[in-house]
Amino acid sequence: MALLEVTDLQTHFRTPKGINRAVQGVSFSVDAGETLAIVGESGCGKSVTSMSIMRLLPSGAAKSAGRVTLDGRDLLGLSEAEMQAVRGNEIGMIFQEPMTSLNPVLTVGAQVSETIALHQNISRAELARRALEMLDLVGIPDAPRRMNEYPHQLSGGMRQRVMIALALACKPRILIADEPTTALDVTIQAQILELLRDIQREHGTAIILITHDLGVVAESTNRVAVMYAGRKIEEAATDTLLANPRHPYTRGLLAAVPRLGRAERGRLAEIPGLVPDLRKPLDGCSFANRCPAATEFCRQYAPALELKAPGHVAACHLAEPHGGRA
């Protein structure tokens, strides 16, 4: 049994213009010590998937169904109090923009201490010692001084490190990192991804890395699940997926990854067109309006997610099946 198993997750939002089917039957699993990337453009459902796992979506407007199990325990069936204990203690989360998640009027040390105190009953002196240890762990230089500083006094990279310290404060078994490096420059991005790898190596933490950028997954992840229009449309081991993508959308995302020289010459490929409106019913393949290989058959019949090679699934009529349905 995998540490986290998501089975047939569906999340729908009520909107004034109809039901938005943001996540439609998504399944995946993550083992201890493994990193799974969930990749796709914005609006493809990847962040809604992570917020559904954490049950952080507004309960009035959003409804999730399916199964999300942590060591066999179904998180969607827990009471809010039980779920609160899971957040932070068992699953930690890092968001894209630390300034909106950190409290601007509390020192960094106070925020990390408060987070630890929420989950553990220990003395103030021990809290301060643990907070300092966490800032050290995430590579904040001169941590004793930084403990007394406020978020606006730190650089973007340092703030993201504080967010990681907060997410790791109670040693969760799973870390969900939602676009953790998008707002950072390339050098700091690489440092943050290296930090996540180090933490995983040392603590065996499972990581779900959510990103729109296939360029960051190569060295950081074991497997990649690609989402499009609320569905998983491809999944494989990272090396396999990067070397041999089966879905035209994944190939489009790969072509959009800047490589040395290509971006500078201004020839970065873009996938033309837009993600379909998920409030409207759709016949056929959801990528057909943007796919260079689309046929009339594609526009009429939605492809199923099928095994295309060992450990490699994709939802595309033109990718040869391997002898089974995923």
Q: Which residues bind ligand SF4 (CB under 6 A)?
A: 247-248, 285, 287-288, 291, 293-294, 298, 303, 316-318
The nearest distance, CB 291 to ligand SF4, in angstroms, is: 3
Q: What is the DSSP string of 92-154?
A: EEE-S-HHHHS-TTS-HHHHHHHHHHHH----HHHHHHHHHHHHHHTT-TTHHHHTT--GGGS
The nearest distance, CB 279 to ligand SF4, in angstroms, is: 21
**Residue 313 CB contacts under 8 Å (≥ 6 apart), including other chains:** 234, 235, 236, 305, 306, 307, 326
| Closer Cβ to ligand SF4, 192 or 316, answer by number | 316
The nearest distance, CB 285 to ligand SF4, in angstroms, is: 3
| Closer Cβ to ligand SF4, 218 or 294, answer by number | 294
| Closer Cβ to ligand SF4, 94 or 229, answer by number | 229
The nearest distance, CB 42 to ligand SF4, in angstroms, is: 20
The nearest distance, CB 297 to ligand SF4, in angstroms, is: 8
| Closer Cβ to ligand SF4, 33 or 276, answer by number | 276
| Closer Cβ to ligand SF4, 156 or 276, answer by number | 276
Q: Residue 179: count other Cβ atoms within 10 Å of its Cβ.
A: 19
Cα separation, 85 vs 91, in Å, equals 9
